Chains A and B, each alone.
Chain A
Amino acid sequence: MRYLVSSSHLYVGVREYGLPERVRELWRYRELFYYFAWRDIKVRYKQTTLGLLWAVIQPLVTMVVFTILFGKLANIPTDGAPYPIFYLSALVPWVYVSSTIATASMSLISNADLMTKIYFPRTILPASVALSGLVDFAVASVFVFFFVLYYGLPISVNMLLWPALVIPLALLSLGVGMMLAALNVRYRDVKYVVPFGIQICLFVTPIIYPVSMVPQQYQFLVALNPLSSIINGFRHSLAPSMPMNWIQLGISLVTIVTIFVLAVAFFNRNEKAFADFV
């Protein structure tokens, strides 16, 4: 019989576990990882009449408001994309990032009773949040596809960029979420910083406006924010008329991987003390 919970030789001491051991352990715990994600999804839509439709309603309503406010009233340029597509293609990934970061940063303290009662790699908690968010993302993506058909946009290879960009999007959300979750265990201030930070981020990232609106001398700031070119990439995959800066995307990918690696290292360093502080 094989077990998830325990290795055949368990060692607890001051010695650090190496990366290969950690990866092997995560692999052993993969089922628990799915179960947590499954629990999140189940619980999120339990006793709701609309169920998974909520995954669509949030970006949809925001899109309608943005289209009226920023499109019709403020006349923000969209580089040739129809307003609904312009906003939806940015809002769907944005909703994923913001909700994943918000939930993942709380994932350790909201599962405190679990962490003080049983062992499992703590990484599973924020990681399962990132995984369960992808289900909502997939549902919303299908919905966006119908909009693309409705507006008669061309079906092209470009559209493969949409699923491909999910990987850096998830890594970024998970990385930031893990770091905040680890900090949250000790410093509950994080609880107040996160919603506020997410709000700021909505304006700093080109979601309401296109990247091309940013003046040339400030374009480097766009490259500094890894989310900018990812969101822009999502837009480009649906509306090819929107310009795409591949170098900026490259820089963003490197930044995201760096953030993720640092976050994992930070999380693992602090993991041992979680149960004592949570």
Chain B
Amino acid sequence: MCGVVAVTDVVEVKDLCKRYRIGSRTRQFQLREQLAQLIKRPFTSMNEEKTELIWAIRDVSFNVREGEVVGIIGQNGAGKSTLLKMLSRITYPSSGSVKVKGRVAALLEVGVGFHNELTGRENVYLNGSILGLRKREIDDRFDAIVDFAGVEQFIDTQIKHYSSGMRLRLGFAVAAHLDPDVLIVDEVLAVGDAGFQKKCFTAMENLRCGGRTVLFVSHNMSAVENLCSRGIWIDGGRVRMDGAAKDVINSYMTTFAVSTGAGTDFSKSMARLGTGEIRYTRVEYLEPDGSPCTLVRCGSNLVIRFHYSVKKVIHNPSFGFRIYTSMGTLVTEAGNLLHGVQVPKVEPGEGFIEVEIASLNLLPSRYSLSLWITGPLGGQPIYDGDVRTVLEVEPANIFSSGWEANSRMGITYFSQRWRFADTKYTILDASETAAADATAFDKPSPAEQRWKNTNKFSTCSTGGCGFTSLERLGCKNQ
């Protein structure tokens, strides 16, 4: 995002290490324990306790250029917060160094130093000065801060009477008016209601557009993907990956997708319905290019390949599956015959049939797939049925807004484009969201692009079939 302009490193982290002694950090230090130690072993130094050392951060080095927005991701306890605390000088490294050029503001929590007994106004001044603003600067920004927080009415009320949401808004309002060179943010977007999160997000966007350097820790992958140009994945106190945000997030999330894997094997599967002349053997989730898809994200272009094994020649089989939610609600049913795609016959041996889904518009959750193969007439006879496999759909930046789609939003979403028209029917705001939509679905021009067929079938089976596969979908005899 820095273009051709020569930029300098504003943050230099070199061989950073932080060691904690297990026990000494959690146990309250009692003089008595040390005295007892002294009596037991009078000749050993008090500091030479035989305690286990853990490395919260080990040999971390990276540089951040001016204007870069870096997302730091990793599991809980990976050392992200320790890293941020060292960057913001709260805790000190055991070895190594951090150099930061410019004014730093660290936002590890919203509303740090708020005092319940003081009024909103007093707390704005207190919090502002804790965060590094001068009184004069707070005077200048006071109205904007109160306006941003939306607490005009209560500004002279003690904040112990505030709702937690109001406190949060006031805290973030002060933080949003800091305007530093380097901003360090720890998971503040995770709190608050939808409206508040939107405000936070816009404030962060503004910082980015203003060419500020931002280091941002979050578990909200959509936010990281949308805001950050670069991602650093911290794992076990070390940098596991450092690169383009999208790539880092993908690798990071792939590690969680083990449960789904790239598919399910039914070869040694349990008892199931059907006569068994033809059985599913395996399901694979693939990228459109045919490579295994280890992580199924919502909105993705997905190919599901169903492998089967045939015992005797079958004419006109009907392949299909149903998707259920974890609660057992039927989401949808799909099958080749429904799409008018015929499979004239399959001969003994192995083969596969696949379906491409242009955009998997399921919201993140764990879904259950129930597969079946039947004859063409009224679903009879049933050759194979009730074959269960799992489809884990992971969050993605589907709206291109940084909003994390989640299972609380329901089961599915639609490709959508929002427009706003005022009373004179002028379209005010269409271009922006339309553009966002376009990136979400990889379409050059949303206005001209129509939904393609959602499901395309192609099939192949041993002995050659009389049916031509569609477009780029491959066909393979095994």
Within 8 A of B (CB), among A188-211: 188-189
User: Given A5-B132, A9-B101, A10-B99, A46 and B117 touching (CB < 8 A)?
Assistant: yes
How many whole Å from B217's CB to the nearest CB in chain A?
14
Asked if B373 CB lies within 8 Å of chain A CBs, one says no
Chain B residues near A3 (CB-CB < 8 A): 103, 105, 132-134, 180
What interface size band does chain A fall in? 35 or more
Chain A proximity of B441: nearest CB distance (Å): 41
Interface residues of A in 73-126 (CB under 8 A from B): 113-120
- With A117-B109, A118-B130, A118-B131 already in contact, the answer to whether A5 and B104 are too (CB < 8 A) is yes
Is A24 part of the contact surface with B, judged by Cβ < 8 Å?
no
Q: How many chain B residues have a CB neighbour from A under 8 Å?
A: 50
Q: Which of B91, B98, B109, B179 contacts A276 (CB 8 A)?
A: B91
Per-residue contact bits, chain B 82-121, to A (CB 8 Å; 1 contact, 0 not): 0001111111111111111111111011001101011000
Q: Are A117's CB and B32's CB within 8 A?
A: no
Roughly how many angstroms separate A188 CA and B132 CA in the complex, as a whole number?
Answer: 31
Q: Which of B99, B106, B113 has the most CB of A within 10 A?
A: B113
Q: Given A42-B118, A187-B30, check contact A1 B179 (CB 8 Å).
A: yes
- Decide if B118 touches A13 in the complex (CB within 8 Å): no
Contact A189 B126, beta carbon cutoff 8 Å: no
Set of chain A residues within 8 Å of B25, measured between Cβ atoms = 276-277
Once bound together, how far apart are the Cα atoms of A76 and B461, in whole Å? 114
Does residue B137 face the partner (Cβ distance < 8 Å to A)? yes
| Contact yes or no, A186 B132, CB < 8 A | no
The one of A15, A35, A186, A277 in contact with B129, judged by C-beta atoms closer than 8 angstroms, is A35
Given contacts A3-B132, A43-B115, A186-B29, contact A275 B91 (CB under 8 A): yes
B115 to chain A: which residues have CB within 8 Å?
39, 43
Do the beta carbons of B85 and A114 come within 8 Å of each other? no
**Chain A, 258-278, contact with B by CB distance < 8 Å: what is the 0/1 string?**
000000000000001101110
Known contacts A42-B117, A119-B88: does B29 contact A4 (CB below 8 Å)? no
Interface residues of B in 111-152 (CB under 8 A from A): 112-113, 115, 117-118, 122, 125-126, 129-135, 137
Question: What residues on B are CB-neighbors of A275 within 8 Å?
Answer: 85, 90-91
Residues A11 and B98 in contact, CB atoms below 8 Å apart: yes
- Cβ of A6 within 8 Å of any chain B Cβ, yes or no, is yes
Q: If the complex has contacts A5-B132, A6-B132, A187-B31, are A12 and B105 also in contact, measured as CB distance less than 8 A?
A: no
Output the nearest chain A residue to B25 by Cβ-Cβ distance. Answer: A276
Q: State whether the Cβ of A72 lies closer than 8 Å to any Cβ in chain B.
A: no
**Cβ contacts under 8 Å, A19 to chain B:** none
* A5 vs B131: C-alpha distance when bound (angstroms): 6
Do the beta carbons of A13 and B134 come within 8 Å of each other?
Answer: no
Q: Which residues of A contact B135 (CB under 8 A)?
A: 31
Across-interface contacts of B30 in A (CB, < 8 A): 187-189
Within 8 A of B (CB), among A1-55: 1-6, 8-15, 31-32, 35, 39, 42-43, 46-47
A162 to chain B, nearest CB (A): 32
B29 pairs with A188, CB closer than 8 A: yes
Q: Tell whether B416 is near chain A: CB-to-CB under 8 Å.
A: no
User: Bound state CA distance, A188 and B179, in angstroms?
Assistant: 39
Chain A residues near B133 (CB-CB < 8 A): 3-4
Q: Given the complex of chains A and B, what is the CA–CA distance between A31 and B137 in angstroms?
A: 12
B20 within 8 A of A: yes
- Which of A6, A32, A119 has its CB near the most chain B CB atoms (within 10 A)? A6
Chain B: minimal CB distance from A174 (Å): 21
Residues on B with beta carbons closer than 8 Å to the beta carbon of A187: 29-31
Q: How far is the CA of A9 from the CA of B89 in the complex (A)?
A: 12
In the complex, residue of chain B having the shortest beta-carbon distance to the beta carbon of A120: B130
Q: List 24 A-B contacts (CB under 8 A).
A: A1-B103, A3-B134, A4-B132, A5-B103, A6-B180, A8-B102, A12-B97, A13-B96, A13-B97, A14-B92, A14-B94, A14-B97, A32-B129, A32-B130, A43-B115, A114-B113, A114-B130, A116-B85, A118-B108, A118-B131, A187-B30, A189-B31, A273-B92, A277-B25
A: residues with CB less than 8 A from B are 1-6, 8-15, 31-32, 35, 39, 42-43, 46-47, 113-120, 186-189, 272-273, 275-277
A-B pairs with lowest CB-CB distance, top 9: A5-B132, A13-B97, A119-B89, A6-B104, A12-B98, A10-B100, A272-B92, A3-B103, A275-B91
